[in-house]
Amino acid sequence: MKPKKSIAPPLSVPPHIIKSRAAVPAAHRLDIEAILIPPSRIQRRVSELAHIISADYRGKEFVIIALLNGTVMFLADLVRRMEFPLQFDLMGVSSYRGGTSSGDLEFTRPLKLDIRGRHVLLVDDILDTGKTLRAVSAELASLGAASVRTCVLLDKPAGRVGEFTADYVGFVVPHLFVVGYGLDHDEKYRNLPFVGVLKEEVYQAVR
């Protein structure tokens, strides 16, 4: 089974948007530089992805596996738009110990569902280096999945280490520190309904 590629055109943030923060809610202007993807555009794109994925997997033994914690909002909106019954499970992975990245993945929450012989869609919030999705895809394949495809809300190609391409992509974004709609910095900003650009002084302050 070869699902259709669904890669959105690259997004860019014009300089005048970065300089003018009028669209950013007042409560977040101290931390957020600009809104990169507004809520309405996110919801339209999630609906498009759900429609394409539903067409590709209808009639298959299908299960969604989502990575914690950043996918929660994306996953909830995506599955509610799916056009057929499905199952999903959550998997926890981490490469951070003591506040720094070790580079080695640790599976912190194993699967509860049996995926042997089933077509798996692995969902994550962002594809950056590709190391996590590459390793988790291999792990799911080793558990007996009939196929493993990947779906990400955001693709940041500038951060890629090695070759990895997601099968379904919401938005291709520039190399910016983005938060909101599930994405965090120090476990904050996940609840924002938009994807925003975090100010440099905010993420530099805790390094």
Q: What is the dihedral of CA 78, 131, 199, 47, to 10 degrees?
A: -10
Distance separating alpha carbons of residues 165 and 156, to the nearest angstrom: 11
Phi/psi of residue 182, nearest 5 degrees:
105, -30
Residue 45 makes CB contacts below 8 A (sequence gap 6+) with 8, 170, 171
Question: Is 82 in a helix, a strand, or coil?
Answer: coil
- Provide the strand spans (E) within 60-158: 62-67, 87-97, 100-109, 119-127, 147-155
- DSSP label of 180: B
Strand partners for 67: 91
Work out the angle between the directed axes of helices 72-80 and 39-57 (0-180°, nearest 10): 60
Give yes or no: 128 in active site. Answer: yes
| Active-site residue identified among 128, 167, 184, 186 | 128
User: Which residues are identified as catalytic?
Assistant: 128
